[in-house]
Structure 1
């Protein structure tokens, strides 16, 4: 097999691994009601089917990315596949609430190990700018559109078989991906742990991220943002993050060299990931609730309703975004894509109680797909621009971490605001459906504001890829050297 064909085959394998992880994040949402009825979850405890995964996944992404640089990214990728696939089997066989929640936590560990290193492997595998942009576009399509595909797959499996199969389907997927990865993805040795590995920093940042994600998905979502538990866990997370930064500035062999943040593109892209993911990906959840609770769609119907998002994302990410970036630069493409997402979210605020798909839903999901297909591949290219090979795993883990934290934050904020506004409207005498729609409208406005903030960040922080502009120091050996 020629080198180019081997690299293309390896890219497909890596994207298969990412697709499996992304599908699992959303596929579970469709099956939650079936899981609740079968295992006897209460409404409050049911959230742990999602939260257990998110806490492990979001908390370990940064550490997993750095371990890929140190131990070898293929090694971490394969280990993650083994953990994720084994845990999926445990989820499928779960007959009790505790067994399912524990297996979901382990699944999150495997998901973090697998997904954190993929983007770093792609950047290393495709060093030439144009081919790298195309490869990142394929990855971005899978990472973004996989959520919409998961809604459809979850509906099909839950309705035609049962909820256990949303987990069993991962087993052959994971085995095949691992076998092809062993054969097609070249091994890399990593830089080695060395005698000065920053164990304290690793433990500190992992605990900080886990506490932060927990504060968002549990006490904030159930008790409110000013509840004592929310404030306590949030303060502990911020305190540990501050301690981690201090540690990294003084450690002989830091887990996260602070020089990586000297690039405006790296900082800007990750800030945009937080705001953009918070605004957009919470809408998949709330939009699904609107289609189900207000318009009466089935689980499969919800997946089909979001299908145009996937189609537009795929067409743009794989075929058209890279030529646009080459012609106009990544920054204007990001801004255009984020602006289209904002427009789609604003349009969703006009969806009525008796909404029609062609008039009120199709334009929204189309704008979201076009915007995401333009914005996110370009954004990932910027996030990885200038990063040296020995730090590619770290940058990959970082961009995945900010996306996941943004998604968790957005979902908690939007769901909380929507629920509280719905309760207030019900108290004022609105009908049940009218109150629900009013709550969703508020969430859609807030989501639009978050993505608009991402547009502002892109306009002020991002710079075109190419020779560094004055004041923008390179992210490489020089940037990481002591002052």
Structure 2
């Protein structure tokens, strides 16, 4: 190759390297967000004993993160679009680090919960900023599908690794579950200048003014919804607190829709939902999370309370789930989407996920892990590895670059809301069907809860099959990160603009 040829090819090679470096850093961030969702799991009893916390405060060390995360995703996505994705990502990472370090030194339970809420809010900004940086950096089609598959893979891996890491760190000192995420986030922050920026990072935009009313109604509405779903099993579904909280959430979210329909620069442009694929992907994400997160919650209770597993044994029992999700998302989902389209892959994934839950109906008082639990966990994991990256691809397919932050925030918020609904509903079923006498004690109520999770999966199959367009996001041609397919994605783009 001549010197001239080498010079001409260098910029393209540099761009490709920068893209891969960016993807690595952004994946590290979503790995951290997912890890922090689960890393307290095994350490909670140690924290309770060390700080003399009540069960309510202990629950909010987990729920506070979820409420902050889910409540601020829509606002985080819009701020990323307007203020700049890279800038939003870096500032939110700084907040995440500070909250993590404070959590490691506080000895007051209320302050510790506050740091968890703050970390959740920071994750509510980093997650949509990171995902939209990927969707605007990689061209729509096989390139973006592969990147989103890796992004989804690291998210799933972070959650599973967090369960195991929680047990290991707690054996040393429970405060490490706060300090270690801070160190990982610091590494992400130091490497952040290497992330490929986007046009929005050059000049913050505020066309039509900022939608303050929409931001407040959406953020408070979603936070109340997640909070109400988390607390309802403890309050009682018919209690004034539960009814009042959930009713307030509904009123605020209806107000949000009315505000968005009239504002010149809405937080979430309602026209984005004209895309049938995008709307269906968000609905699939909700019911998928209802099924899988609700199932994980109930299954972990079953193996501990009925089978007598320790917390650390439980973490390792579900480690194969994370590993299978990672492998499937990395090596299968992107290739299958490229060949068969998102509808086929999402439908197949929901079927397999539901089958995995259905196999848990074989449980008994002394279920063998290798023959009863493991096959169900592996099949469920394959389904998850297909669904998770696929709905992410469909959820941002055909959306213009300036709205990628909003689309990313929507699909992540759908997952968080679904997780809250799934855990709340399955916990209620678990309580309502519990028996104190007879051969079904410790088994029957778990089977009923698993059946409800199967119903959620069945709904996801139907929505994916009839709602997502056949070949959406499967292939793309043309240059630039915002280029769309000439056939499948063009109608979606028109609807989103």
Return the TM-score normalized by structure 2: 0.91
Residue number in structure 1 paired with 2:377: 365
Answer whether contact 2:399 2:496 (CA < 8 A) is retained.
no
Give yes or no for contact 1:79–1:113 (8 Å, CA) kept in 2: no
Aligned to 1:420: 432
Q: Residue 248 of structure 1 aligns with which residue?
A: 260
User: In structure 2, what is the Cα distance between the partners aligned to 1:144 and 1:414?
Assistant: 22
Paired residue for 1:451?
457
Partners of 1:14 and 1:118 within 8 A in 2:
yes
How far did 1:475 drift? 4.5
Alignment of 1:458-469 (within 5 A): 458-463=464-469, 464-465=471-472
Deviates more, 1:412-421 or 1:387-396: 412-421
1:291-330 superposed matches below 5 A: 291-330=303-342
> Where do 5+ consecutive residues of structure 1 fail to align?
none
Per-residue deviation, 1:41? 2.1
2:223 corresponds in structure 1 to: 210
Alpha-carbon distance in structure 2 between the residues aligned to 1:437 and 1:67:
47
User: Does 1:233 pair with 2:266?
Assistant: no
Q: Measure how far apart 1:199 and its partner are.
A: 1.0
Give 1:178's match in structure 2, choosing from 178, 189, 192: 189
Shift of 1:325: 1.3
Contact 2:77 2:129 in 1 (8 A): yes
CA distance in structure 2 between the partners assigned to 1:397 and 1:205 by the alignment: 12
The corresponding residue for 1:377 is 389
Structure 1 residues 2-11 or 138-147, which shifts more? Answer: 138-147
Verify: 1:402 aligned to 2:384, yes or no.
no
Tell me the equivalent position of 1:196.
209
Q: CA deviation at 1:260?
A: 0.4
Deviations 1:195-246 (A, max 9, x none): 521111111111111111111111x121222222111111111111111111
**Number of the residue aligned with 1:67:** 79
What does residue 26 of structure 1 align with?
A: 38
SS of alignment partner, residue 159 of structure 2: helix
Structural mapping, 1:434-449, within 5 Å: 435-449=441-455
CA distance in 1, matches of 2:442, 2:50: 27
Work out whether 1:103 is the aligned partner of 2:115: yes
Instruction: State the distance in 1 between where 2:347 and 2:93 align.
Output: 35
Return the offset for 1:104: 1.0
CA-atom RMSD in angstroms:
1.9
Other-structure match for 2:495: 479
Q: In terms of mean alpha carbon deviation, does 102-111 or 384-393 score higher?
A: 102-111
Given that 1:145 and 1:309 are in contact with CA atoms closer than 8 Å, whether structure 2 keeps it comes out as no
**Aligned match of 2:165:** 153
Preserved contact between residue 340 and residue 370 of structure 1 (Cα < 8 Å): yes
8 Å contact from structure 2 (residues 353, 384) kept in 1: yes
Describe how 1:257-296 pairs up with structure 2 within 5 A. 257-296=269-308
Q: 1:215 to 1:469 in 2, by over 3 A?
A: farther
Relative distance call for 1:438 and 1:41 in structure 2 (3 A) is farther
Contact persistence 2:80–2:405 (CA under 8 A)? yes
Inter-partner Cα distance in structure 2 for 1:194 and 1:389: 16
**Equivalent residues of 1:190, 1:390 under 8 A apart:** no
Q: Secondary structure at the match of 1:30?
A: coil
Q: What secondary structure is seen at the aligned counterpart in 1 of 2:202?
A: coil
TM-score (norm 1): 0.93
